[in-house]
Chains A and B, each alone.
Chain A
Amino acid sequence: MRRIESLTAEQERQLVAFREEWLRHGLSTAPADRKRTEEIITDFYRQIGKTKPYFWWSDGLMVSQLAMNLTLRAPKQRAAPARSQKPGTAVEVENNLWANLGANLRANLWANLGANLWANLWANLGANLGDNLRDNLGANLGANLGANLWANLWANLRANLRDNLRDNLRDNLGDNLRANLRDNLRDNLGDNLRANLGDNLGDNLRDNLGDNLRANLWDNLGDNLRDNQLEFFGAYFWGSLEAYWITFYLFPHQFLPLLKPYDTDKANLLMQWADLARSTFWWWPFEGIVFLSERPLSIRKDERTRLHNSNGPAVAFRDGWSVYYWHGVVVPADVIERPEQLTAERIDQEQNVEVRRVMVERMGYERYILESGAQVVHSDDIGILYRKEIPGDEPLVVVHVVNSTPEPDGSLKKYMLRVPPDMKTARGAVAWTFGLKEQEYQPVIQT
């Protein structure tokens, strides 16, 4: 076969279209294709010699986590901590829950549920596939494709989609989910998630596990989870956000047919993974049961593709769990939704430098400077220079500039601009905003 040095113009066009198509899949907020997802995962189980599992779908990552916490945490793990067992305490409630759950779960599910199949699936269908594809594609590309083409595929598919899907979204979601579970869940659980869980348990489990279990879960759930450290199940399996991995191998298969980079078995498996990435979000495989999360309801980014939404969550799931970002910085919801309620006092107590900066920006330099007791460093005919010391961060120095043209009501519009912390005079600060030295800034007319 003739060695391919570069893509044809047509293939270049296909590559870009392919990348854009997969970015859309990766960032899809459509409901999962549950039927197709279950078909593929059932076949994965079959390939490693397991029977068809039970599929427990949740509306989002948080409810999936809670569902796994409820069903998978081993009773012996839960009884072990040497904590208070006084009546009414978390541990007492926990043990009570597990005593009730145990009778049902151990008999019905637990014996079969214990093993996490992630490693098994990964070894057989994931790592193995990856190695195989890489070896095959590598060998083929080495023999048949020029280095430029490899770099082109890498840059367009793997690197581009990885930045967009994995680094930006996947890692953020994972980190946030973990933090949320540990820190914030107690507050959130009461209403939103409890209702969701109730619905889920009601719909999914009533028929499967019987009224006894459901009643027990429902009654105990709120108190139990509210007071407990929950376990974060991090070892999810891939869905739409992992498209970056799959497409790199998929493009040669679909668009460079002469290469025939993979044997039939591997090509089929690759197509299954691709199909899965088009159909669903993350999932967690166990012996006998798979937990699956629906995709986000919305994903919002700024022009630099950082997670960002100026008036709501940047990522929201159908189960009510959502995360708020300001240009890539994760912040509490009210910083985005109710910036007018921010106070200088609260901002000054915020420990995280990045979050504090966002808070100041959301509150507005003007209000923050005036409310925080900032010091007037200097004032002249150009404006007023303020300085506010911020523990652990560089000082906030802003110049209050006055527009020379009166507003229709005769007032003069003022605006504040942040300037470098070493500014000493208002004139010098304004000169800096125009890239000039203080003595250079001598406008003959200002309007």
Chain B
Amino acid sequence: MKSQNCMFRQGDVLLRRVKEIPTDAIVTDKKDQFGNDRIVLAYGEVTGHAHAIHDLDNVDVFVKGDGTMYLEVKSEAALQHEEHATITLPAGNYERVIQREYSPEEIRNVAD
């Protein structure tokens, strides 16, 4: 499978395969904002729902200074969300992209 074709979308979160994780991205705790053990890719603004991975042994998380998040999936891991079907991520390196919306004055991230 070509790397540029290997992308997964779950609602407003897209994971795209990258060859490698940038060296300036820093390893980050696998905790959510409440200190629970899970990797959260995005929170819903209103619902409290989240795009999350619980297979912590299979995945490492890296974050760059500008907030870009990367996942190193060492072996298959499940991406879950309360309102979406689960996606099984194959091993590989991924960049997380959050869906954005156009506005004449500014560009805002979408939160579902």
Contact = CB atoms under 8 A, between A and B. Distances in A.
A418 B97 CA distance: 17
Interface string A268-284: 00000000000000000
Contacts of B23: none
A394 B102 CA distance: 12
Contacts of A445: 8-9, 87
Interface string A428-447: 00001111100011111111
A404 B7 contact: no
A444 B85 contact: no
B86 interface: yes
B99 interface: yes
Given A417-B110, A447-B85, A357 B8 contact: no
B33 interface: no
A298 interface: no
B101 A433 contact: yes
Contacts of A405: 83-85
Nearest to A446: B9
B9 A417 contact: no
B9 A443 contact: yes
Interface in B61-112: 81, 83-87, 97, 99-104, 110, 112
B86 A443 contact: no
Contacts of B110: 417, 433
Contact of B100 (A404, A433, A443): A433
Contacts of A357: 104
A403 interface: yes
B5 to A, nearest CB: 5
A27 interface: no
A447 B104 contact: no
B7 A444 contact: yes
A444 B88 CA distance: 11
Among B4, B9, B102, B110, chain A packs the most CB atoms within 10 A around the CB of: B102
Nearest to B12: A433
Contacts of B11: 403, 447
A447 to B, nearest CB: 4
Contacts of B86: 447
Contacts of A404: 84-85
Interface residues of B, number: 26
B97 A435 contact: yes
Interface string A414-427: 01011110000000
Among A403, A436, A445, chain B packs the most CB atoms within 10 A around the CB of: A445
A445 B7 CA distance: 7
Given A403-B84, A434-B14, A444 B8 contact: yes
Given A443-B7, A447-B84, A420 B102 contact: yes
A418 B101 contact: yes
A427 B81 CA distance: 24
Interface in A379-437: 393-394, 397, 403-405, 413, 415, 417-420, 432-436
A320 to B, nearest CB: 32
A443 B8 contact: yes
A443 B14 contact: yes
B87 A434 contact: no
A227 B104 CA distance: 40
A282 to B, nearest CB: 31
Contacts of B100: 433-435
Contacts of B10: 446-447
A419 B85 contact: no
Nearest to B100: A433
B76 to A, nearest CB: 13
Contact of B5 (A415, A435, A436, A442): A442
Interface of B: 1, 4-11, 14, 16, 81, 83-87, 97, 99-104, 110, 112
Query: Ordered nearest first, which 7 A-B pairs have the shortest CB separation?
Result: A447-B85, A443-B9, A447-B84, A446-B9, A434-B14, A405-B84, A433-B99
10 contacts: A394-B104, A403-B84, A405-B84, A418-B103, A436-B16, A440-B4, A441-B7, A442-B7, A447-B81, A447-B87
